Structure 1
Amino acid sequence: MKFKAANITVLAVSLLLSLTSSIHILPDSNGTLSLQNSYDYIVVGAGIGGLVVANRLSEDPSVSILVVEAGELDDRAEDVSIPGNIGLEDPRRYKVKLDLASQEFLDGKSRVISQGKVVGGSTIVNGLVWTRGSAADFDAWEDLGNPGWGWADLLPYFKKSEKYTLPPNNKSTHNFLTALNPVIRKHGEKGPIEVGYPNYYYNQSHNFLDGIQELGIPVNEDPNGGSATGASIIASSMVAGNQSRSDARIAYLDPVLDRPNLHLVTGHTVTRVLHDNGGATFLNSTYIPGATGLNIIGVEFAANSIANKIRVKCVNEVLLAAGAIFSPVLLHISGIGPAKVLGNLGVDVAVDLPGVGSNLQDHPTLQPVYKYTAPDVFSAWDIVGSTRDVVREEYLTNRTGPWTAPMVDVVALPALSWVVDDLQEWLRETTNVTNNLPSSYEETLRAGYLAQRDEMISLLARTDTPVYEVMSTSWGQLAVSAMRSLSRGTVLARSSSIFENQPIIDTRFCSHPIDCKLLLLGLEFNDRLIQTSPMARLIPVPPPGFGVVDARNQTALDEVMRPMITSGYHLSGTTSMLPLSLGGVVDPSLRVYGTRNLRVVDAGVIPLLPAAHIQAALYAIAEKVCPSVPLRDEFVIR
């Protein structure tokens, strides 16, 4: 494919990269970007995956890297950086809203979700929760045909990405330290992302931990050590010293702003991945290094739908890191995906790859609030007016007080056998359902799902992997997420133009009926929890339909619950790392099947969603795939 001049901005060729002190490239007065006409690596998206690989690749001064991001740099304002302000930020600043398709298995209505549109991606706007999942979660990845992706293989990269710090011992934290006893050799000490704990805990967190133990759920002193089940104080992606958000931008981008071989363009959206289709052949077996495949020659991007399109050549590789929603959409637009889908878009098929956009997974979530009405309860909802001024001053002056506390700092992660008497009956029910997949799934996708289902049944039977998560907030929200969802959905491009693309996202929540049963199980757990003596002291008031009497009527509770189910914001799997025979999109090197130099490095590659919040896993994935500096001995567990 040759680069055509029509409607394309002609870029001046530069023999040397700009030696400015900043890699951030902005348009000049004429709207022109001072770019090279080619780069060794082009990274699409500046979230976790994009910034990690850009950082690591740029350690080699002999290679050039371009990162293209649709969002802008955030302003580091208080609504972004301060843990106590989570959820209070203006969503118009750094988020994009996305519509989910009508949920036929819930209430027939759509949902609205959002994700970060900013340098740093969703790490700029997430809840900071830092959980890895259990060792068995990642061993399941290897069992599904991904050698080198088990827990032992990933642990060095979990360590490489993080700088772990224990909480301080003060009046607010003292009573919580007995619930923490991390295995230090399983945590990183020098990584870019700071992982720590707040300088302040609300008293309600203590009530929650005590109440969970009264129900027979033990404390887990290190939920990131390989066994996740139990009641836990959880770490956050926060800087221990100044008690602020630690995100992908400040960890992986800001420290390398002086590298002249790394360029970042913001406010521009990649419209296509460019390839030379002449003589390309589709691989019908596992990828073999050096085998023939579609040759990726660059990317095309623009500021908006009416702006001139810019094309930049790629010498080595293009790495997609646009997320589990937009990476498959971009592949569709570029001619890589199911032939029928591409045909409906009017896009020529370059690689017929059925799995692109399928295998969508999430943690379906409920967020009921059991309002704490005891007169001595102080919560984040009470930080208003003059109280807010006092709390803000304490934070800015001493980095202490309620504003250091994120929304969630304690959770419960029970194993299925801990909360049901008839474990084998639950496992049989999980196995018996076979007709819950989208009609678009062809033979390999169905085979892949069955392999995943078998792994899920094995995980549900274990005591070191949780069935659901209960997340506690200071004001009484006891959010429940099904950690072992067996439902699968799809992401489809709506148009051949990225700017006309509100993607068709169908999570198909509870298409496998076991998922709603697991959520009901979590709500019944909440019902028992608020009746424990530590929680009863808070005088919790359940939301309508969630009271003690209602919880005993599963049919009524189910009717109240379904309209409330929404995304857990852990969408993944749409470009799965699986064998081709199981509907995979990328191989264990994260290279797209049928191509020779295109990889995906985002949540889409996750083949089976871990029972955890996923940011820690995404940092480890990106660190592992980056063909840069070998691991130092300090990261290797011996």
Structure 2
Amino acid sequence: MDAFDYIIAGGGSAGCVLANRLSADPRNRVLLLEAGGKDDYIWIKVPVGYLYCIGNPRTDWLYQTEAEQGLGGRQLKYPRGRVLGGSSSINGMIYMRGQAADYDGWRQAGNPGWGWDEVRPYFTRAEDHYDGASEFHGQGGEIRVEKQRLRWDILEAFQRAAEEWGLPAIEDFNRGDNEGSSFFQVTQRKGWRWSASDAFLKPVRSRANLKVVTGALVDRVLFEDGRAVDVAYRLGDRDHVARADGEVILAAGAIGSPAVLERSGIGDAHRLCDLGIAPLRDMPEVGGNLQDHLQLRCAYRVSGVSTLNQRAANLFGKGLIGLEYLLRRSGPMAMAPSQLGMFVKSHDRYATANLEYHVQPLSLEAFGGGLDPFPAFTASVCNLRPESRGRTAINSADPTASPSIRPNYLATEEDRRVAAQAIRITREIAAQPAMARYHPDEIRPGRDHDSEEDLQRAAGAIGTTIFHPVGTAAMGTVVDAELRVKGVDGLRVIDASVMPRITSGNTNAPTMMIAEKGAEMVLQAAQ
């Protein structure tokens, strides 16, 4: 049995940051355990390769939700990265911090040290922004942030239409108030994906005090006298145990970390007993508070303008796309899944924008399916601060068994009202003069959905996850403001699951920030 100062369960967005920071002191012995494999798959590196990574057992856990009542009984595929870099190796690469009010809300809820002014330095210290250092951005850090390397007339027209509707164009979403429209900045370097593994792990893999084990499925944490001392994991068909002389850190994400806690005896005691797991600490909050952004994929057929539907319609078009990427690292193969972003208030009663748009020069019936055989664009819109709360929970003590995932979308009347209004706003923008020359024709959900009741039902029919699960080991309930699991010693959770409330935007950058701040907390405690 090997002994380490720190054992990190999960080599994803948070785990890579933690491995880097905790091993910077050569006196610290650090073990990073990742259930997936190495991130040497070519489609991880090519930005459009997310299409081949999501749903691929080489890179994805292949989770799916339970039947969702709010979505008409549909089950959704629920991608989570199972590879070094985690979801940062398969995600949409959008660099988005959220709003200052998000973090101030965390602090005001009883989590000191997590306000906007306190967390912003952790964003900037790790950043290498294309425009250099400024009040809001950093230079020379590990996370490369660049502009996207393409343009589409249809997206620029939709941005002008939004301005005619009343939404201003802005330069940057990451200054604390993201209301407005802009083109997303992305975690790429010269047209290649730049994951947390690229940024934080690969540069330090040669450190003698850092051991990285892939294919290592963490089973549970073992305790002695209420303190985490060992981590049990499977490597192939063999069981292993690693000793933690310092701390154990769960960084397995919003689905993985609560599952490890439950298998370790921390969770709802009655459920654990039913599964044959001896409870260590009765904590029903583990796995609860699940929040996610539900995107409504509103699609419009257009004419007189090029979209990806035509450009990728045949082998010749695909060949030209491939050649452009080969020669310039630009064009559709360099695309993030979404290019144009917009942050909008669905109603004046909101102090800050509560809707986020991801606008794309393409359309398809369902994510992962083929493109529609006609020119079209999609304006996906999500409620940034849903009231609905779900739950994830293990169904078995077997670490290879998939957990139950119930996001509980559209469970509240307010969430349903916001969804209906989001579709109305999308229609209003599409009807502005800037779009008139392209004759936009709504194909999803379709103009036959017009009443409040119809629009709410339509939202449930077209809604799908945008891959932002958080909150299942939240600060204030499961962990304290230092990210220590309550009621035990030597165990922390440091990943997206500790967010008490979801951020108003994409969640990868906040997850890496949490790991930056969490690593500093761990090191300070050791002193």
Q: Same fold (TM over 0.5)?
A: yes
Q: Give the aligned partner of residue 367 of structure 2.
A: none
TM-score, normalised by the number of residues in structure 1:
0.77
Of 75, 83, 87, which aligns to 2:47? 83
Q: SS where residue 405 of structure 2 aligns?
A: strand
Q: Give the aligned partner of residue 371 of structure 1.
A: 301
CA distance in 1, matches of 2:16, 2:444: 44
- Using a 3 Å threshold, how does the CA distance of structure 1 residues 199 and 108 change in structure 2: closer, same or farther? closer
Of 474, 487, 491, which aligns to 2:388? 487
**How far does residue 199 in structure 1 lie from its aligned partner after superposition?**
2.5
Q: Does 1:566 align with 2:464?
A: yes
Q: SS where residue 309 of structure 1 aligns?
A: strand
Q: Does 1:577 align with 2:475?
A: yes
CA distance in 2, matches of 1:605, 1:315: 24
Q: Which runs of 5+ in 1 are unaligned?
A: 1-10, 12-36, 167-181, 279-293, 424-460, 579-583, 632-638
Of 420, 434, 452, which aligns to 1:534? 434
Q: SS where residue 87 of structure 1 aligns?
A: helix
Identity of aligned residues (%): 31
CA distance in 2, matches of 1:143, 1:498: 36
Regions of 4+ moved over 6 Å:
628-631
Q: SS where residue 477 of structure 1 aligns?
A: strand
Q: SS where residue 162 of structure 2 aligns?
A: helix
Of 487, 500, 508, which aligns to 1:594? 487
1:335-484 equivalent positions in 2, closer than 5 A: 335-372=265-302, 374-379=303-308, 382-383=311-312, 384-418=314-348, 423=349, 461-462=350-351, 465-475=352-362, 476-484=377-385
Q: Give the aligned partner of residue 221 of structure 1.
A: 171
Q: Does 1:264 align with 2:201?
A: no
Check whether the contact 1:370–1:542 (CA below 8 A) recurs between aligned residues.
Answer: yes
CA distance in 2, matches of 1:56, 1:529: 45
Check whether the contact 1:183–1:222 (CA below 8 A) recurs between aligned residues.
Answer: no
1:58-207 equivalent positions in 2, closer than 5 A: 58-77=23-42, 79-89=43-53, 91-92=55-56, 93-166=58-131, 184-207=134-157
Q: Does 1:303 align with 2:190?
A: no
Q: Does 1:234 align with 2:199?
A: no
Check whether the contact 1:483–1:610 (CA below 8 A) recurs between aligned residues.
Answer: yes
Check whether the contact 1:163–1:194 (CA below 8 A) recurs between aligned residues.
Answer: yes
Check whether the contact 2:7–2:32 (CA below 8 A) recurs between aligned residues.
Answer: yes
Matching residue's letter, 1:377: S
CA distance in 2, matches of 1:91, 1:108: 21
Q: Give the aligned partner of residue 505 of structure 1.
A: 405
**How far does residue 381 in structure 1 lie from its aligned partner after superposition?**
5.1
Q: Does 1:514 align with 2:443?
A: no
- Using a 3 Å threshold, how does the CA distance of structure 1 residues 518 and 184 change in structure 2: closer, same or farther? same
Q: Give the aligned partner of residue 373 of structure 2.
A: none
Q: Give the aligned partner of residue 254 of structure 1.
A: 202
CA distance in 1, matches of 2:151, 2:89: 22
Which protein is richer in strand relative to its size? 2
**How far does residue 596 in structure 1 lie from its aligned partner after superposition?**
1.4
Q: SS where residue 498 of structure 1 aligns?
A: coil
Deviates more, 1:402-411 or 1:317-326: 402-411
**How far does residue 74 in structure 1 lie from its aligned partner after superposition?**
2.1
Choose 1 or 2 for highest CA Rg.
Answer: 1
Matching residue's letter, 2:259: V
CA distance in 1, matches of 2:257, 2:515: 15
**How far does residue 76 in structure 1 lie from its aligned partner after superposition?**
4.2
- Using a 3 Å threshold, how does the CA distance of structure 1 residues 488 and 376 change in structure 2: closer, same or farther? closer
**How far does residue 63 in structure 1 lie from its aligned partner after superposition?**
1.1
TM-score, normalised by the number of residues in structure 2:
0.92
Matching residue's letter, 2:162: I
Q: Give the aligned partner of residue 619 of structure 1.
A: 512
- Using a 3 Å threshold, how does the CA distance of structure 1 residues 349 and 400 change in structure 2: closer, same or farther? closer
CA distance in 1, matches of 2:247, 2:191: 38
Q: Does 1:323 align with 2:210?
A: no
Check whether the contact 1:233–1:410 (CA below 8 A) recurs between aligned residues.
Answer: yes
- Using a 3 Å threshold, how does the CA distance of structure 1 residues 86 and 201 change in structure 2: closer, same or farther? farther
- Using a 3 Å threshold, how does the CA distance of structure 1 residues 250 and 331 change in structure 2: closer, same or farther? same
- Using a 3 Å threshold, how does the CA distance of structure 1 residues 406 and 260 change in structure 2: closer, same or farther? same
Task: Work out the number of aligned pairs and report it.
Answer: 508
CA distance in 2, matches of 1:82, 1:556: 40
